[in-house]
Amino acid sequence: MTSAFYAKTGFSAAACGVIFKAPEEPLFYLAGDTIYDAGVKECIERTAPAVVAVNAGGAEFPRGHLLIMNEYDVWALMQDFPDAEVIDPHVEGVSHATVTRARLQDFAREHALSRLHIPGDGETLTFKR
């Protein structure tokens, strides 16, 4: 989206997210509801998390502007950071999502995204430092 869009709508261009750091645990970045942009990339470059959680349901504004990442954003992130474990726990979590769990799983297989984890409902994932 453009700066003109943000000026007219009042939406914020700032990415949200938080870094979790604990002894004996891998550094964890919860990107939150954001698209993959320079701010997210810079945060990953600066903090080097081992695990990145993204919301990649591809939710959109009515005219097709992404609110959160889609499968292509996940692919780009994983190309930029091939050693990161990436989790998408948010697929099918909102009614205006355009990416289903099955679609993202197929995309991951087709693009050899072996470090992309798409947990099922209630599934727990564990990562070692």
**CB of 51 closer than 8 Å to CB of 85:** yes
| pLDDT value of position 54 | 95
- What is the set of domains in the chain, with CATH numbers? 15-117 (3.60.15.10)
Q: What is the pTM of this model?
A: 0.85
Q: Strand, coil or helix: what is 51? A: strand
Locate tokens 């099922």: which residue? Answer: 120
Mean pLDDT (10-residue bins), the chain, 129 residues? 65 73 95 88 94 90 81 96 93 78 94 96 90
**CB of 29 closer than 8 Å to CB of 53:** yes
| pLDDT value of position 75 | 97
| pLDDT value of position 66 | 83
